[in-house]
Each structure stands twice: as C-alpha cells, then as structure tokens.
Amino acid sequence: MASGRPAAEDPRNDPSLYPPIPRPYYDRDPIVVARSLLGALLCRRLEDGTLLVGRITETEAYLARGDSANHAHRGQTPRNRSMFGPPGHAYVYAIHSRHCLNVVTEPIGTPSAVLIRAVEPLVGVEQMCRLRCTADPTKLTTGPGRLCEAFAIDRRLDGEDLTRPLRLWLAAGEQIPAQAVACTPRIGVTSAKELPLRFLLRDSRFVSRRAPRR
DNA sequence: ACGGGGATCGGCT
DNA sequence: GCCGATCCCCGTA
C-alpha cells in the first residue's frame, strides 16, 4: 500500500486518548463555546473501526435570539429539531448537496449552536483523502462541507450525542492563547452578515479563508 | 490572488 | 416554486 504503518498499529489510533468533553461544557453561550472549541479535537469512528481525528481551526456561533441567520430563527421544523434538544448533541443539515456539522449549545428549548467550519487533519488522513477524492491538504477539511465529507458525516448523525465516544465526539485539545484567535463576520450568510461570530486560528493553514488584514 | 457563475437538491413558503 | 450556514472551476491580473 501507500505509506506509514497500518492504522491499527498507530499509537494515536486509540479512542481512550480522546476522552469526550462532558455535557456542561456545551451548556453555555454559543459565542463562548465557539471560541473555546478552537484547538479541540473532532473524533470519528467509522463503521470499519477506523479512527479519524482533526483539530478544530475555525468555528461560527449561531445565536438563539436576534440572529436571523440561525436556521431556528423562525421556530422549530423537522430539519432543525436537534437544535431544540439538549446541549452536546450534533445538528447536521444538508445544503447544496453538502453537509454541515454543528454542536448544539445552551439548555433544551434554546436553539443555539456552533458550526464547525474547518479542522486540521491529525489521524486517519489517508482515509480522509479517500473519502474526499483528493490529497490536497488545503482542500481536504477546510470548509464545513469538505470536513463532513472527509469525516463521513451526514444526516444519519443528526442528533448524535457528542459526549459518548462512539461514532462522533469531541475531545479537549491544547489551550489557545487569546492573541492566536481572530474574529470576523460569518462566511456565506445572507442575513445578519455583519455580526462578528466567526472564530479562527490566526496562523493556521487549515482554515476556509484567511482572516482579512487590518 | 481574487471574483463571478453554475451545479444541485432538500426544506420550506 | 424559491432559496441557501457550499464547493469547484474558469475567467482576469
């Protein structure tokens, strides 16, 4: 085959290395969670046992109130149901034939979330390349639709409990100093486009777009 | 490097 | 019917 040792022998390929972040972490303001999730680890266990891990480099907050870009802005529908559930679960939706992964924040009945927009691939990169049909690291997981394809995330994982290390969960990573974080308006939204609710690692290559100069 | 246009389809009005 | 929390490609420079 290609290169490197078999995944089963890779010492990083051990889920116990990535204990899930507990639920109270998510029961907070989505702005706080979005900022805090930078540097955290997105973990995925595929059907065949393959472990995929990526370090979160870019997030966006979607607020329960006063945010017309939030899918739940006009109330609950079958699609956005997960956002109204308990914190620490996934909200996965499809747009333009792609999927996007969110983490639900705040208590039941308060529909806020954090969109995971980009990660830096750490473990299982070969499998990610197969799923994405590319080996270009700048296009592998830099964007919400791209990273969902690389991690085999679709609507079947909508509502998944992210505090259990089963199919999809988040683990703590290194602390990120405040000066390493940039904040900008969100990407792609057509309403509430001025709100500075996008957070990214300033110096990371693995973001969907560079921070604007200032 | 940057910007515009098209693909594409589920969810909602 | 309309409209994207997107991505990719192809222009220009």
Tracing tokens 């989505």 back to the chain, one arrives at A30
Protein-proximal positions, strand B, CB < 7 A: 2, 7-13
- What is the C-alpha to C-alpha distance for residues A37 and A30, in angstroms, rounded to an integer? 10
pLDDT band at residue A214 using 50, 70 and 90 as cut-offs: very low
- Summarised one tens digit per residue, pLDDT across range A114-164 is 999 999 999 999 999 999 999 999 999 999 999 999 999 999 999 999 999
Nucleotide at minimal C1' distance from the A113 CA: C5
* pLDDT the model gives residue A55: 98
Determine the distance between A177 (CA) and B8 (C1') in angstroms: 40
User: Domain limits of chain A?
Assistant: 18-201
CATH classification for the domain delimited by A18-201, as one of 2.60.120.280, 3.10.20.30, 3.10.300.10, 3.40.630.10: 3.10.300.10
Q: Which two tokens stand for residue A25?
A: 């972490």
CA distances from A114 to A51, A131, A162, A186 (A): 23, 24, 13, 12
- What is the C-alpha to C-alpha distance for residues A35 and A43, in angstroms, rounded to an integer? 18
CA distances from A202 to A34, A119, A133, A159, A182 (A): 15, 13, 28, 31, 5
List residue ranges whose Cβ is under 7 angstroms from nucleic strand C: A 60, 62, 69-72, 83, 91, 95-96, 98, 100, 102, 113, 115, 132, 134, 139, 143-147, 186-191, 208
Protein-proximal positions, strand C, CB < 7 A: 3-8
In terms of DSSP bridges, do strands A98-105 and A112-123 run parallel, antiparallel, or are they unpaired? antiparallel
Q: In this prediction, what percent of chain A has a pLDDT beyond 70?
A: 93
- What is the C-alpha to C-alpha distance for residues A137 and A206, in angstroms, rounded to an integer? 8
pLDDT band at residue A2 using 50, 70 and 90 as cut-offs: very low
Tracing tokens 């900008």 back to the chain, one arrives at A184
